[in-house]
Amino acid sequence: MKEKVLFVCVHNSARSQMAEAFLNHMCGERFEAESAGLEPGQLNPIVVESMAEVGIDISGNGTRAVFDAWQSGTIYSYVVTVCSEADAEGCPVFPGIAKRLHWPFDDPSRFTGDHAEKLEQTGRVRDAIRAKIAEWCAELGATTVA
């Protein structure tokens, strides 16, 4: 049986969505990832575009509230918050889980500049999340797909 992982951020529109997609893609034999947010918003179109650049389609994903994840009764082996350090105070805490991790990443919704600049900045966050997922899977001995 796969270990369930919940990635949580404030809006479930960028960082948690990327982390969910990468974990399912890279270590899906061991883990089943989901994501949620404290105040679910709309999926960030620049994040969708950035993920498409690396061959992962998240365009059909919806956003979800942490309360809905909690209410579902799902038992998660890990809950990973991916809020930035600046947003850490507002980042939700998911009660009653075995292992909590905090991986801070900048929030793409706060990036400024034109479309190309925002896409470049989002790509840096995407690559950092992918690297962290690969590192974590290796630490836990999970088989990783590039």
pLDDT digits (tens, 9 = 90+) for 6-55: 999 889 999 999 999 999 999 999 999 999 998 888 999 999 999 999 99
Is 27 assigned a catalytic role? no
Is 83 assigned a catalytic role? yes
**Residue 145: inside a domain, yes or no?**
no
Torsion angle of C-alpha atoms 59, 38, 9, 108, degrees rounded to 10: 60
**Residue 21: inside a domain, yes or no?**
yes
Task: Classify residue 65 by its DSSP letter.
Answer: B
Look up residue 96 and give its two tokens: 């009653």
70: domain CATH number? Answer: 3.40.50.2300
How many whole angstroms separate alpha carbon 86 and alpha carbon 113? 20
How many whole angstroms separate alpha carbon 108 and alpha carbon 91? 15
Which run of H or of E encompasses 136?
Answer: helix 115-139
Q: Which of 5, 8, 9, 23 is catalytic?
A: 9
pLDDT tens-digit map of 118-141: 999 999 999 999 999 999 999 998
For the chain, what is the domain count?
1
**Residue 56: inside a domain, yes or no?**
yes
Is 137 assigned a catalytic role? no
Beta bridge partners of 80: 7, 101
The predicted model scores a pTM of: 0.92
